[in-house]
Amino acid sequence: MRNQKLRKVIIVFGTVGLTALVIFGGNALDWWEGKTIRIENQSEENKINNNKNNEEQNKEEEPENISLISGLKCENAKRRPIAVMISGDAVTRPLSGLSEADLVIEMPVVTSGITRMMAVYVCGDPEEVGSLRSARHDFIPLARGFDAIFAHWGGSHFALDKLNAGVMDNIDALVDYYSAFYRKSGIARPHNGFTSIKRLLKASERFGYRLENNFEGYPHCEDSNNLSEDNKNGILKINYSYPFNVRYEYQAEDNFYLRFRGGQKEIDKNNSEQIKAKNIVIMRAASRQIEGQYNDVDVEGEGKAIVYRSGKEILGYWKKDKNNKSSKLYFYDEAGEEIKFVPGQIWVEIVELGQEVSWITQE
């Protein structure tokens, strides 16, 4: 047998395994008859273990359950928002459930007069929400922009015409099919209507409404616990007519805006705590009276806006697509960048074009 010397080893990596082609030299010129040696990269057991490790790694990399509206961590983050119409009348104060809303929109329903609120809930599960009031058509595109289920106690014919035509999922107390609402004794009508988020969720399920959240969300920044030394307390005044006039007192130490209305603290009756907002948006929009008793507010299109966050004023503008009723309500700075909110409750105050709004920092 001739003494053959190993001259070269060629290793080829393939998609299936590892192929080694051994070439013998010398006078032999043999290819080992073109045979290849195939070595598997990994056993079936290794494959299973690697898959499990990848799955665990992917789970660790999944984002936390964060509300896409408030930016706060909560168990209900993936739940579809519920928007509830709440009274602004002085006789209904203190209201129940406001402190647990992710976002609240306040808007005059009579030009230079009565305001009404729409509280949007994702994280919060208040046991009682109210006093509830009727829908106004201006709130409908705003509620749709949050992908919300809209809860209300009747409404203007402008609003009911749209809702009864099926423009969005809604729950109306006047036809209360699934006992989502109730009236409290000792309170005069129409101010004695209440609900809870659990009741509204049960009714939504019975209606067959989708309960998963499809809202694209707002961007958020870190909470400024380490505020700059020049950050000062301040007062933001929104000159709605009395007793609907609003004041926020900014507390730099805690980075909160304490809410007052009609000169009194805005208290949540459920927990006796004052409302503490993290973000205030002033959204300017033109309006006009229709039929002598209803307001028609331009909440679609675009207009000027100011965001108050961490004691600072951010000038900019709001925008909502007129051609897409379900489009998100955006807030941009002067450079055209979407404004980030501090994680926490957001209040959007819709005011007339010439409405007096003032921000004063305190020494």
Please, are residues 278 and 255 in contact by the beta-carbon 8 Å criterion? yes
Residue 18 has pLDDT above 50, yes or no: no
pLDDT for 110: 84
pLDDT digits (tens, 9 = 90+) for 160-199: 999 999 999 999 999 998 999 999 999 999 999 999 999 9
**277 contact partners, CB below 8 Å, separation of at least 6:** 248, 256, 257, 259, 344, 345, 346, 347
Which of 338 and 24 is assigned the larger pLDDT? 338
Which residues, 6 or more positions from 247, have their beta carbon under 8 angstroms from its beta carbon? 235, 236, 237, 238, 259, 260, 261, 263
Query: What is the pLDDT, as a whole number, of residue 330?
Result: 98
Query: Region 204-227: what's the mean pLDDT?
Result: 88
CB 251 within 8 A of CB 243: no
pLDDT of residue 3: 44
Of 190, 192, 171, the closest CA to residue 182 belongs to 192
CATH of domain 83-361: 3.50.90.10
Reply yes or no on whether the pLDDT at 55 is more than 80: no
Predicted confidence at residue 276, as pLDDT, reads 97
* Average pLDDT, integer, range 226-244: 85
The larger pLDDT score, comparing residue 61 to residue 81, is at 81
Q: Please check the confidence at residue 2 and state whether its pLDDT lies above 60.
A: no
Which pairs with CB-CB distance under 8 Å and at least 24 residues apart come from 8-16?
Answer: none
Percent of the chain predicted with pLDDT > 70:
80
Residue with tokens 């007793």: 243
Helix locations, the chain, DSSP H: 44-61, 139-145, 157-164, 197-207
Residue in this structure with the two tokens 């700075």, named with its chain if needed = 333
User: What's the pLDDT band for 54 if we cut at 50, 70, 90?
Assistant: low
The string of DSSP codes covering 318-339 is: EEE-TT-TT---EEEETTSPBP
Q: What is the pLDDT of residue 222?
A: 84
